Structures are given as C-alpha cells and as structure tokens.
C-alpha cells in the first residue's frame, strides 16, 4: 500500500502576516538608513573623518590599557615608549605645523622651534616646553600649543603691540606699551612714531603714556620724549618746540594740562617761542630766538652811553 504524504500549506492569514512582517523590517531598515544619512549630513565632518575619530578612540583605549598595565607592573618609562611606538605606527606623529595669529613676527622663528618635533610621535611632544621656547621670542606675548590628531601641531600666537621707538646710541628699537624691545628698525621706519630717548627711558614708557593721556589735545603733537636725569621729561613737538616738565607724575601731568590750556587760548605751538620751561611751580619761562642777542645789544648800548656821560 502506498501512502500519499500531503505538504502542509500556509493559510492565507499566515501568508499575509509574514508579508507584513517583512514589509515592516524593510521599512525599519530604510528609516534607520535615512536617519543615519541625515545624521551624517548634519555633522560638520565627513564619513572618513568620523572613521578616523572612531579609530583614534579605539587606539586611545588600547594604548591607555597598555599604559595602565605597564604602570601597574612598575615600568612607566617602557609604557611611555610603547605608547609612542603604537601611536607612531598608527600615523599619530607630527607631520604638519599650523601657525596662527602672526602679523609682525617672522614665522620662520616659530617653525624653527616647532619643526624640531617633526616626525616625533604625538605622545612624545612636550607641549609646555615648546610653549616656553616660543615665549622667549621678543614679539610673543603669549602662545598656546595643541595637538590636532592625527598629525598636526597647532600654534596660536598672541603678539605684542608696537607702541613707540626707543632711540639708542647706535640704533632705533621698536618697543611695546610696556617698554619691551621687539626688534631694531631703520630711521625711515621710525618716522611717524613716538620716539623715546634717554637712559632708562624704556622702563618709563607706561608712565609716559599715562602722562600724555592727561592732555589728549597735546598727545598727537608730541614727536619725541626724552627722559632727563632719570627723574623728568622733555617733550619735543612736531613743530620742533621743546617743553620742559617738572619732576613727579602728578606735577608733570598738571603742568602738561596747563600748557594745553595755554596753547588753546594763545596758540603757543607753531609760534616764535622755541622752548617752554614749566619746572617752576608758579611760572613758565619762554625762550625766543634772537631775544638774547637783542638784550645783549641793548645792554652794550646802555654801557656805552653811560661811559660817554662820564
């Protein structure tokens, strides 16, 4: 006897249910893919950069674990070398230097120091030591050094601001508002800038700035300031006239303000007077060219007349 085996067939309800589940799976996958694509479009980095970030995180975790194990075993130096070797093999070594914030400073001086780290594994770069080297440059007021993985050192420079020119015996030197010497300049480059002169004048630049700010109308007219005897200032104006100020910050500022008032009412600057002396507390002395010769001639004539009468 032969038996017929009947294959069980799915009912219409089960078939519809299976089709529904497959459709939901496909829709879920589509939504997931589109959501991921939207997230990638929203991120400010490319997919390749994202992969590199994930790789860096994974490598960082592995290296951190190796460091911890070696440190626990009492081998920190070996762990540090191993860390550097792993990082270098993964491409984490200095290949580029990005210098920012430079306007007056010669960038080559920055690169000379930074490129000493070239091809060095990133963990071996002494960020603080490199910063200290940069701070030795006269133009650098502050500096920040950071690692931009996988292969770039970023150096942000904050420069000092040129303020005046210090006249020395044999050269002109550009200085900042605090009197820090920046670099030698030619006499041509010194033109149009406030020139400071006299022994110890560089250390008095901040005090000079406060003094000139007391009389804003006079400040743009000052061409040179000479520090006399380490105690007071002589100001030379663009008209070549000279003003001798008294000692002391308050007295010199008060004298300069008084001079500004007198100039406003009597037009002293640009006139015949070549020098003004305000060192006395209660008066101002004026020097007019030729006046001394006139007084000498009058005295000689008076003496001659007196002798004739005798």
Task: With respect to residue 169, please indicate whether it lies within any of the assigned structural domains.
Answer: yes
Task: With respect to residue 8, please indicate whether it lies within any of the assigned structural domains.
Answer: no
Task: State if pTM tops 0.85.
Answer: no
Residues 6+ apart with CB under 8 A from 284: 259, 262, 276, 277, 278
User: Residue 138 is part of which domain span?
Assistant: 96-159
Task: With respect to residue 38, please indicate whether it lies within any of the assigned structural domains.
Answer: no
Same domain (yes/no): 144, 253: no
- Tell which of 142, 159, 176 closes a domain: 159
Same domain (yes/no): 147, 174: no
pLDDT of residue 158: 95
10-residue mean pLDDT profile of the chain (310 residues): values are 47 55 56 51 57 62 58 53 50 80 92 80 85 94 89 92 94 95 93 94 95 95 96 96 95 95 92 92 85 52 51
Same domain (yes/no): 192, 208: yes
Taking the CB of residue 260, how many other CB atoms lie within 10 A of it? Answer: 18
Same domain (yes/no): 197, 101: no
Same domain (yes/no): 287, 262: yes
Same domain (yes/no): 207, 282: yes
Task: With respect to residue 84, please indicate whether it lies within any of the assigned structural domains.
Answer: yes
What strand order describes the sheet that includes 172-175?
181-185, 172-175, 164-167, 195-197, 222-228, 232-237, 242-244, 275-277, 285-287
pLDDT of residue 150: 80
In 139-230 the beta strands, taken as DSSP E runs, fall at 140-148, 152-159, 164-167, 172-175, 181-185, 195-197, 222-228
Q: What is the CATH number of the domain that holds 128?
A: 3.10.20.310
Are 173 and 184 in contact by the 8 Å Cβ rule? The answer is yes
- Tell which of 89, 114, 140 closes a domain: 89
Q: What is the CATH number of the domain that holds 232?
A: 3.40.50.11690
Same domain (yes/no): 221, 253: yes
Same domain (yes/no): 129, 189: no
Same domain (yes/no): 187, 105: no
Task: With respect to residue 36, please indicate whether it lies within any of the assigned structural domains.
Answer: no
Same domain (yes/no): 77, 192: no
Same domain (yes/no): 102, 80: no
Task: With respect to residue 15, please indicate whether it lies within any of the assigned structural domains.
Answer: no
List the one residue out of 213, 192, 224 whose CA is nearest residue 256.
Answer: 213
Task: With respect to residue 110, please indicate whether it lies within any of the assigned structural domains.
Answer: yes
Task: With respect to residue 26, please indicate whether it lies within any of the assigned structural domains.
Answer: no
Same domain (yes/no): 271, 208: yes
The separation between CA 59 and the C-alpha centre of its own chain, rounded to angstroms, equals 36
What domain count does the chain have? Answer: 3
Among left, alpha and beta (phi > 0; psi -120 to 50; other), residue 179 is: left
């Amino acid at each position: 006897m032969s038996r017929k085996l009947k294959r069980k067939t799915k009912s219409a309800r089960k078939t519809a249910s299976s089709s529904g589940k497959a459709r939901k799976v496909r829709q879920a996958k589509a939504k997931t893919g589109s959501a991921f694509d939207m997230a990638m479009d929203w991120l400010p980095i490319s997919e390749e950069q994202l992969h590199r970030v994930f790789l860096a995180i994974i490598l960082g975790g592995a290296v951190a674990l190796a460091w911890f194990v070696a440190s626990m075993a009492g081998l920190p130096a070996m762990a540090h070398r191993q860390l550097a070797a792993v990082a270098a093999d993964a491409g984490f070594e200095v290949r580029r230097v990005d210098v920012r914030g430079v306007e007056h400073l010669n960038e080559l001086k920055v690169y000379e120091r930074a490129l000493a780290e070239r091809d060095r594994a990133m963990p071996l770069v002494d960020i603080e030591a490199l910063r200290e080297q940069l701070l030795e440059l006269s133009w650098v007021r502050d500096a920040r050094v950071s690692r931009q993985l996988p292969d770039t050192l970023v150096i942000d420079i904050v420069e000092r601001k040129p303020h005046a020119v210090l006249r020395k015996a044999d050269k002109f030197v550009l200085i900042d508002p605090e009197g820090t010497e920046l670099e030698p300049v030619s006499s041509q480059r010194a033109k149009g800038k406030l020139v400071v002169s006299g022994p110890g004048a560089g250390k008095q630049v901040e005090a000079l700035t406060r003094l000139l700010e007391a009389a804003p109308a006079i400040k743009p007219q000052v061409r040179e300031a000479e520090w006399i005897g380490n105690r007071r200032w002589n100001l030379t104006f663009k008209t070549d006239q000279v003003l001798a100020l008294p000692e002391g910050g308050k007295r010199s500022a008060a004298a300069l303000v008084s001079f500004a008032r007198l100039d406003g009412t009597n037009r002293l600057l640009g006139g015949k007077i070549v020098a003004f002396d305000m060192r006395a507390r209660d008066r101002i002395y004026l020097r007019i060219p030729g006046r001394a010769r006139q007084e000498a001639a009058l005295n000689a004539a008076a003496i001659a007349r007196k002798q004739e009468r005798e």
